[in-house]
Amino acid sequence: MSIDSIMAVWGRRLVIRVGTFAVASMSLAAAAAELSVPAPPQQQPILLEGGTVHTVSGASIEQGRVLFDQGRIVAVAGPDDALDLPEGTQRIGLEGRHVYPGLISANTVLGLVEVDTVRGTVDIAETGVMNPNVRAEVAVNPASELFGVTRAAGILTALTVPQAGRDGLLGGRSALLRLDGWTWEDMTLQSGVGMHVFWPTERGGGFGAIGVDSPEARRRAAEARVEQLDAFFARARAYREARAADPALPRDLRLEALAPVLAREMPLVVHADELRQIEAALNFVERHELRLVLVGGYDAWRLTERLRELDAAVIVSTVHRLPLRRHEPYDTPFVLPRKLHEAGVPFAIARVATTFASAHERNLPFEAATAAAFGLPREEALRAVTLYPAQIFGVDDRIGAVAPGLQATLIVTDGDPLEITTQIERAWIDGREIDLASRHTRLYERYRQRYEVPAAGQGTRP
């Protein structure tokens, strides 16, 4: 057989194998599609009554009442307060139950990944070093199965963050998503929440580390990357000033995307853990007069005074992690939220935004519970996954608490949502009641029936 014949045969086999893999991948993606139908708009006023209302922004109300209409909370009242109910109000008794605001996940890649090991379902980062023009929301898959699983844990809103890839610095702009909707437009609560920078680390080895061995070489490499970032921001500022003077100048979408950051309308969200990283980021923010939100923040407790001076906030991600250094106590990451709280630094609690972690976003309330177990006041732990992220992202006039005027994004539980035994029984997003079924519950029902013990005299199932 000639070489050409051999290559032709192998070529056909390769096409068949690649085609088979593509079909399998598409089948897997189709099987992973969310089957729940997005909820329709609220049709009538709804009154939740008889349960304990945890407003989060204020005191809890025993036997409280929450009235909402057209997606917004109209009134929050006690059992003896006067309350005029609109005609046609649906009354839902919640005796023995609790009402909370929906939880907020402040650092995720939800909607940008489906199956961690299937490359075709992962769309978390663009190529290149500087991508400030990237918008996370336009890449979101609204049919993701992970939304249903996450909603079932009481998490109704999530910040989806574009990543920077192995060699990137500027990942792009994050978006705050409602975890229900037909399209990404339906789901977007707030676009352009923050501009995300993944600060270079001097630590050797591991993802994101600079690929050089000597500590001194790693330090120089990190400094060179920061200089690159400095130059890009200086260029963006010059472009902004030039465009203001002459609007006819050619547009540069990458530089234009930094305009709200330079105007302090959008925070620079810096992902950094180590002391030297955080110090360098603080210096950078001071030089360029920017607003700062720090994500990760493992060593942030060492720089609380500077963080307060810059009015910076910290998104702790994550509490459930090992110590960064071998000599540190095992509970170092567990006590970080308590230390930030005691130092008066605004903070929220989130999880790590990785393709693997996105399937486990439902564990967010237990991150806050661990912080509470290690000294953070219980009410602060709850605010760290509700009100505080809403304040940090500037949407506390819409979500994060149970108060008149806010959107009716609520959960009903049979206990404390930070307790692992608590069940989320009902949920509303903007007044729309959400189906809490998910792939997990469907599998449970399927195999519960498969192995259900039959009635006496009917034999046994295989």
Q: Could you write out the DSSP letters of every residue in 96-136?
A: T-EEEEPEEEEEE-TTSBS-TT-GGGB--B-SSSB-TT-BG
pLDDT digits (tens, 9 = 90+) for 288-304: 999 999 999 999 999 99
Q: Identify the CA nearest to 262 among candidates 195, 346, 211, 217.
A: 195
Question: Cis omega (within 30 of 0) on the bond before 318?
Answer: yes
Average pLDDT over residues 53-67: 97
Q: Is the pLDDT of residue 25 over 70?
A: no
| Pairwise CA distance, residues 120 & 114, whole Å | 9
In the chain the domains, ranked by start, together with CATH numbers, are 33-102+400-462 (2.30.40.10), 135-395 (3.20.20.140)
| Pairwise CA distance, residues 453 & 40, whole Å | 38
- pLDDT higher for 298 or 9? 298
Cβ pair 259, 240 in contact under 8 A: yes
* Band of residue 448 on the pLDDT scale cut at 50, 70, 90: confident
Average pLDDT over residues 12-19: 34
Q: Is the pTM of this model over 0.95?
A: no
pLDDT at 451: 84
pLDDT at 184: 96
Q: Identify the CA nearest to 426 among candidates 100, 191, 194, 138.
A: 100
Q: Is the pLDDT of residue 456 over 80?
A: no
pLDDT digits (tens, 9 = 90+) for 82-114: 999 999 999 999 999 999 999 999 999 999 999
pLDDT at 36: 77
* Band of residue 454 on the pLDDT scale cut at 50, 70, 90: low
List strands edge to edge, sheet with 313-316. 170-173, 195-198, 268-272, 292-296, 313-316, 347-349
